[in-house]
Structure 1
């Protein structure tokens, strides 16, 4: 049990019914909550002396009402958690949300929305999945993170009832608090992704070629990789291989002989994977009519299936993965593709925002879990039917699956606006949400210029190299832009760090196996090994591999030195074997373009 200020958390609770009852400490047992100085401005919730967490239960309002509970972010406590987001700050005090529905959402790149937050003082908060949750931060109240429960789209209408809303936990430090959250809420992975995908790079056609792909281009790409003496886990054929989006049939003008292509790639040492999405565009026949007639698409509350996505100019339907018959049909189409020599798949989308609104899903699932259950059903379908040689990009209560969960697309930028720095903060956020098998986005980003596709827009050489270095001690590598499109120095540096990643694969596997047993993060924030150190909780540009390697990449343009914070313990420099005793700052650590700073815990 935490003591002193660690056992108190400032809340703003906007609930007139609760306040009218003038709850006192003597009534704590009845309401599972202790309130001191109760009013609608400053409410202090204090940990009961004999428990490590309390459960808050309240009456969920009718359709016209809402409950608003807000955590104060005003003191020097650091907070983490919440959604994976395009603007991924770490800690999260400066994030901004304006009553955002808390489900996987594409426009804001909130592909993972676990309902879990954690403070640097050992306080945790978890909102239950059945709560129709919205979040609001630094908007409704400045310097507050607010949790709003209301019967409003995209949620299905709830009956007003006494409902368990959330747990608040008080623990000795943030590491103990997180381990308790793993046991109580987040769960542990049941396995890890395919070892070859961890050890060697995935080579994707996407960033380099965008939708301009064909049998000729894919073969040429493979020949370049082999000639440049880089290893591979697989070659990924990305967007625009179909006759139309959702046909599940190769375009014969681009891919006249798929079996010939896959056999040729396998002779060169490649596995072959294919980009897959859950949509069928309107007019993509006969697939659209077949799915429509059989009732395989998600419908909204008006019985309509029409929706839109980034490749659906006229609209599309999205497969209902809560419908067992729809799943059997959809999976069967992919199994047919595997008979052509396709080894596995890269799965895209799965966010609730792509569904026709307000979605009505299969009634075998509790109505209180809709619409989030769609994302969970989608990802579970992928893992169940296609094993551990896959990747998906969304998550909702699916931390247990032994597959890679890919970061949202990163932009080819140095900035915190979804650029290189967010490669690290997104890694940390996903790990602390329980998604430890993280597949970072492609090295150098997606080649988007100002957020839009721009042909062959390449990352600058320095950004490309620094991106790879930041990625080395993460669970996997993805290339699309290639080192040999730059110069000999780039090739040499990339070969060095690609080989380093392969050599430390046993350490990655060890960390993954530790997570399977104990639920620990694979890539943790540096405070994980020094959880009482409040300075360590502020660091957003370093990370750990397991508990043995600390990585401090250069993420600023034109920088050849950086400051590095080492938490407690003895650390050996991975570049020169010099040892340091933490906690301490290393000021102006030299890091020219060919140097990645990292340290080994002794």
Structure 2
């Protein structure tokens, strides 16, 4: 039974805007991570948590939380008094922090991804042009990510010569400009290719059961063909240690040959591992997704978009691609703070202005205010990532507003780095929901603001207009404009186009 006033969170990051869960909500985690991170954990505002270690289905129905289809034993713990204690108790027991960090450049400077500017036309000339434009337009160099379609086909781990005449020289130039360089990779292998035939012969991919549920791995001979967003491919079977060795060997080849610094590990969603396929070791689709996460532990410069479990590990988790819309901008705060509630503290919001390239197609003009507010929303999250070039799509004044957001981040970077290092030790979220930071004070449904650590309340504009309602908990708060407000209070603030609203707790 759900206790009086008790509210529940957890499961999938991409569902966070629907949290706390309402009557009628249902989610089956088996083979479905909702295109982002998921964890078999539920936590409540009354300090309870439910953990399974394996996927399960849950439904909220008439004041009951119903768990069904659990693939493993359940742990139900009632030792805590609030959401914060429920999280800490679960984390301590099931996904403790490892005291390790990803590459700190991912936090200390903005990131830049070539996706929205180049989409599938990744090429040496335009990547260098983009990198130089970053600097020429007054943005600090940081990590730059080369996105999909840099190879002749999936599984071929060399740059395609028709678009990259000298990829090693390109990466060296990017280093000289002050960037570290990441490269997009996935677990997919184009099947009708030299590499595709090689990995199939070595049995490094998932196999098709061909309708025979009794068929064993040793008997299987036909690779499973997976439908994903960019075609049909084989997929690596990382339950096979030889596949893991082969894949890491290819990644290390890319680092050694082209001087790369790390990788953006895309895909890996549980849905790409059909339950009726045959793998070296029989596991759930979710476990295949987790094994994809294990690859990144060898590369401090990493980023993931899909994950199962792996909380407390030094892996960067990015929110799922968001559309260029106000509706999706409003999801950033609940999604990012819920990632923290599931043990993912090294989190990146989606690309500024949106990373779902379909929502850019056919647009003569972007919503400039949306791009600015998106940059402000990301500025004091653990990371901020650009893709669409602000200098290309914004007016002079709006570009100045985005650069001001970057400057605000620079001002708070020492504090962010302090929080990130603490998170590596304690597992405590860097970005915290209001309910987490101020338990049982009526903030469970507040999604338009968050706490950066324990002292900074960040309230970006995430809707059109310039009027923001802010909920200040008990204490004495100083705004970015220097005004002092005594909480608890609900206030309305007029927010200028270039302003990011921040309140600092100066006295509890």
TM-score, normalisation: structure 1:
0.77
The answer to whether residue 89 in structure 2 is matched with residue 184 in structure 1 is no
Instruction: Decide whether aligned partners of structure 1 residues 328 and 146 sit closer, same or farther in structure 2, where only a CA change above 3 A counts.
Output: same
Contact 1:234 1:272 in 2 (8 A): yes
Q: Is the 8 A contact 1:102 1:113 kept in 2?
A: no
Q: Who is 2:315 aligned against?
A: 403
Say yes or no: does 1:370 pair with 2:284: yes
How far is 1:312 from its partner?
4.5
Q: Which residue of 1 aligns with 2:267?
A: 349
Who is 1:85 aligned against?
A: 14
Q: For 1:342 and 1:189, how far apart are their aligned partners in 2?
A: 26
Q: Return the match for 1:358 from 276, 284, 290.
A: 276
Match of 1:118 in 2: 43
Partners of 2:365 and 2:45 in 1: how far apart? 39
Q: CA deviation at 1:457?
A: 6.7
Please give the alpha-carbon distance, in whole angstroms, between the structure 2 residues aligned to 1:506 and 1:362. Answer: 46
Match of residue 148 from structure 1:
68
> Residue 244 of structure 1 aligns to a residue in which SS?
coil
Does the aligned pair in 2 maintain the 1:447–1:456 contact within 8 Å?
no
1:214 and 1:529 mapped to 2: Cα distance? Answer: 45
- Find the partner of 2:226 among 284, 291, 308: 308
Aligned equivalent of 2:216: none
Return closer, same or farther for 1:334/1:497 CA change in 2, 3 Å cut-off.
same
Name the structure 1 match of 2:490. 585
Counting only pairs closer than 5 Å after superposition, residues 102-251 of structure 1 correspond to structure 2 as 102-105=30-33, 108-109=34-35, 111-126=36-51, 128-130=52-54, 133-137=56-60, 141=61, 144-149=64-69, 164-251=73-160
Classify the secondary structure of the residue corresponding to 1:261.
helix
- Decide whether aligned partners of structure 1 residues 312 and 172 sit closer, same or farther in structure 2, where only a CA change above 3 A counts: closer
- Change beyond 3 A, Cα 1:390–1:240: same
1:5-16 aligned at under 5 Å gives the runs: 10=1
Q: Relative to 1, partners in 2 of residues 1:135 and 1:445: Cα closer, same or farther, differing over 3 Å?
A: same
TM-aligned CA deviation for residue 413 of structure 1: 1.0
Question: What does residue 474 of structure 1 align with?
Answer: 381
How far, CA to CA, are the matches of 1:346 and 1:172 in structure 2? 39
Note if contact 1:561-1:590 (Cα within 8 Å) is conserved in structure 2: yes
Which range moved further: 303-312 or 242-251? 303-312
Mapped partners of 1:582, 1:183: distance in 2? 32
Please give the alpha-carbon distance, in whole angstroms, between the structure 1 residues aligned to 2:92 and 2:355: 36
The answer for the alignment partner of 1:427 in structure 2 is 336
For residues 24 and 170 of structure 2, what CA distance do their matches in structure 1 show? 47
What's the counterpart of residue 499 of structure 1?
407
Distance 2:457 2:179 in 1: 32
Shift of residue 495 of structure 1? 1.2
The one of 547, 551, 575 equivalent to 2:454 is 547
2:369 paired with 1:462: yes
Cα displacement (A) at 1:360: 4.0
Residue 340 of structure 1: aligned partner: 258
Residue of structure 2 equivalent to 1:36: none
Of residues 478, 484, 487 in structure 2, which corresponds to 1:572? 478
Count of aligned pairs: 494
- Equivalent position to 1:443, from 321, 330, 352: 352
Indicate how the Cα distance of structure 1 residues 238 and 500 shifts in structure 2: closer, same or farther if over 3 A, else same.
same
- 1:594 and 2:498 matched: yes
1:259 Cα deviation after fit: 1.8
CA 1:345/1:95 → structure 2, altered by over 3 Å: closer, same or farther?
farther
- Per-residue displacement from partner, 1:81-114 (whole Å, max 9, x unpaired)? 12122673232326843x6343443xx42x3221
Work out which of the two has the higher radius of gyration on C-alpha atoms and give 1 or 2.
1
- Cα gap change, 1:372 to 1:600, in 2 (>3 Å): same
C-alpha spacing 1:92/1:448, structure 2 compared with 1 (3 Å) = farther
Query: Tell me, which stretches of 5 or more residues in structure 2 are unaligned?
Result: 213-219
How far did residue 471 of structure 1 move? 0.7
Matched, 1:515 2:444: no
Q: Is the 8 A contact 1:135 1:145 kept in 2?
A: yes
Q: Output aligned runs, 1:93-108, within 5 Å.
A: 93=22, 96-97=25-26, 100-105=28-33, 108=34
Q: Deviations over 1:186-208 (max 9, x none)?
A: 32243222221111111111012
Q: Does the Cα contact within 8 Å between 2:226 and 2:235 map onto a contact in 1?
A: no
Describe the SS at the equivalent of 2:12.
coil
Aligned-partner Cα distance in 2 for 1:174–1:362: 40
Mark the runs of 5 or more structure 1 residues left unpaired by the alignment.
1-9, 11-71, 156-162
Cα distance in 2 for residues equivalent to 1:312 and 1:560: 40
TM-score scaled by length of structure 2: 0.91
Counterpart in the other structure of 2:239:
322
String of CA shifts for 1:213-262, please: whole Å, max 9, x gaps: 21111121112112112112122111111101221222211112212222
2:433 aligned with 1:525: yes
Distance 2:424 2:251 in 1: 29
